[in-house]
Structure 1
Amino acid sequence: MTDIDLAETAYPVQMQLEAYNARDIESFMQWWAADCAYYAFPDTQLAHGADEIRARHVERFKEPNLFGKLLYRSVIGNVVVDHETVRRTFPEGTGEVDVICIYEIADGKIAKAWFKVGTPRLDQAQR
């Protein structure tokens, strides 16, 4: 694959990350296929279809500190793998968590996604 092909494959992932960080549900959803599948790694389905993914994220986007920081991205074929640190408000308080995100791209949209979530690290003041 050329650098152009890699950038084109990663484009929907980058755009949904930017919309995630802006907490813009409309921009976020335009990068997900209508029949997309969303999993906790390796195979626990959390949502199927754009409506279920939207419902999960409408609530998450209410978190004022929500932000995904991309640490590393790899693209092989139609698969994009991101390693991110995500700042969130957890039930126990604010902090961050490492996440490995695996996206399967089809027709310029995210068709499937898997997320391996680490252990949340709460901010020092809350420990």
Structure 2
Amino acid sequence: MQSLSPADVIQRQLDAYNAKDVDAWLATYAADAQQFALHGGLLAAGHAAIRSRVLIRFAEPDLHAELLQRTVMGPVVVDYERITRNFPEGKGTVEMLCVYEVADGLIQKASFAFGEQVVTVPALAL
């Protein structure tokens, strides 16, 4: 069986994210994977912590990631995405830069840079 390319792994991760399929999404991550704020602190380490973190996000009814650009350099995949979210202030979007390191067909490390939140539908209008 041929292993998936790093870009294929990240596409599977994105598809599972948009389907809110936590098991398929988590299957793209190594058991000891780590998530970081880009150039910052650790957000989650290991499947249990990563699952807990994403389940909160998957509870948002309008959650959807739109891929704007992808760059691949060997085992590193960088996605530029626009995420539709349900913020406490209302429905809106946030742009993210996601840097993934893939080895052995799994995400080993992921680092995220978060852009400014833009509320498009205030909570009072929902």
TM-score (norm 1): 0.91
Give the aligned partner of residue 56 of structure 1: 53
Is residue 2:73 matched to residue 1:73? no
Which one of 103, 108, 114 corresponds to residue 106 of structure 1?
A: 103
Aligned residues: 121
Q: Which one has a larger percent strand, Structure 1 or Structure 2?
A: 2
Is residue 2:28 matched to residue 1:31? yes
The alignment-based identity, stated in percent, is: 43
Structure 1 runs not aligned, ≥5 long = none
Distance across 2 between alignment mates of 1:46 and 1:91 = 21
List 4+ stretches of structure 1 deviating above 3 A.
none
Structure 2 runs not aligned, ≥5 long = none
Give the aligned partner of residue 94 of structure 1: 91
Distance across 2 between alignment mates of 1:10 and 1:74 = 9
Is residue 2:41 matched to residue 1:47? no
- Shift of the alpha carbon at 1:30? 0.4
TM-score (norm 2): 0.92
Give the aligned partner of residue 122 of structure 2: 126
